[in-house]
Structure 1
Amino acid sequence: MSVIGQRIKELRKGKGFTQKDLAEDIITRSYLSQIEKGSFQPSYDTLEKFALKLECSVEDFFQEPRNKALITSQTKQKIVLAESKIENGKFLDAQRTISEITDIEDLSNYDRGLYYWIIGKIAENKEIWEIAEENFEISIDIMNVTQSHKEKVRAMDSLGYTKIKLEKHAEAFKLLNDAYEFSIQQKVGGAIKTSLLINLGFAHLNMKEYHSAIRILREAQVINQETHVYVKTGQINLLLALCYKEINELEKAEKSNKMALSFFESVEDSESKASVYNNLANLYMKFSNYQKSIEVYLMAISIFERIKHSKGVLLSKTGLAQAFYLNGQYGESEKTCFEVISQPLEEQYRGYTYLILGDVEMIRTNHQKALENYTKGFDIFESNDIWWGEEVAIKRMSKVHYELEDFQQAANLLLNSTKQNDKEDILPIFI
Structure 2
Amino acid sequence: MKSRYQYRCYPTPGQRQSLARLFGCVRVVWNDALAMCKQSDKLPKNNELQKLCITQAKNTEDREWLKQVSAIPLQQSVADLGVAFKNFFQSRSGKRKGRRVNPPRFKRRINRQTARFTRNGFKVKTSKVYLAKIGDIKVKWSRPLPSQPSSVAVIKDCAGRYFLSFVVEVEPEIEPPRNPSIGIDLGLKTFASCSNGDKVDSPDYSRLYRQLKRCQRRLAKRERGSKRRERMRVKVAKLNAQIRDKRKDFLHKLSTKVINENQVIVLEDLNVGGMLKNRKLSRAISQAGWYKFRSLCEGKTCIQNRDFRIISRWEPTSQVCSECGYRWGKLDLSIRTIVCINCGVEHDRDDNASVNIEQAGLKAKSCQEVGVGQTHDVKWTGSACKTSDEAVCGEPSTHREYVQLKLFDW
- TM-score of the aligned structures, taking structure 2 as reference length: 0.24
Bigger share in helix: 1
Q: Which of the two has greater strand per residue?
A: 2
Rg: which structure is higher? 1
